[in-house]
Amino acid sequence: MREITEADFDEQVVKAARPVLVEFTAEWCGPCKQLAPVLRAIAEEERERLDVVAIDVDANPETAVKYGVLSMPTLMVFKGGEPVWSRVGARPKRRLLEELAGTI
């Protein structure tokens, strides 16, 4: 899982050749910290077909506003430069993989 910023969001997410799971996160967010190991595991297990990145909403507020992010963590899958799936809140790895199954 990589950290990205507004400066490289377009390159890493919008222009990506394959699906990208983006976590909109914040340093102060407890559920984000709970979700971090789950996302690291998914990034490793699904590395052949999915990129996983995180963007800090406090340091990158314009991107959060652009995509209507109001709560953390917000997860979005981007395909072809557009968000195609979105969920708010932490969840167990098995449930997250089930939810992602149709989008990656």
Kindly list the catalytic residues.
Answer: 29, 32
Whole-number Å distance between alpha carbons of 38 and 5 = 21
Type and span of the H or E element at 63:
helix 61-66
Inter-residue contact 94 to 77 (CB < 8 Å):
no
Quote the CA–CA distance of 62 and 65 in Å, as a whole number: 5
Quick one: 47 exposed, middle or buried, by C-beta within 10 A (0-12, 13-18, 19+)? exposed
